[in-house]
Amino acid sequence: MVKTRAEVREEFARKGWSISGWAKQNGYSPNMAIAILADDEANPRLKCLRGDAHNIAVQLGLKEGEISRAVGARQLAAA
């Protein structure tokens, strides 16, 4: 089931999670996650079509799709 941005923000508030904490825990930029959730539902600036924006949207349940994480420099540095 696809969620709205407001539903995801409400879920985070209900569970006591921070958006930036979730993003860091999942290897994403906190600024990108915050921007996606703060975006306008009817006319979003971030379309979340590819890359980390797509992956964040899928993982948060904002859209259906597959998470495609290529091994990048950030992941290699963390290993």
Task: Report which of residues 72 and 19 the model is more confident about.
Answer: 19
Model confidence, pTM: 0.83
pLDDT band per the 50, 70, 90 thresholds, residue 76:
very low
**pLDDT at position 39:** 94
What is the chain's mean pLDDT, rounded?
89
pLDDT digits (tens, 9 = 90+) for 11-39: 999 999 999 999 999 999 999 999 999 99
Asked whether 52 and 61 are in contact (CB, 8 A), the reply is no
Residue 27, by phi and psi: left (phi above 0), alpha (psi -120 to 50) or beta? left
**pLDDT at position 41:** 87
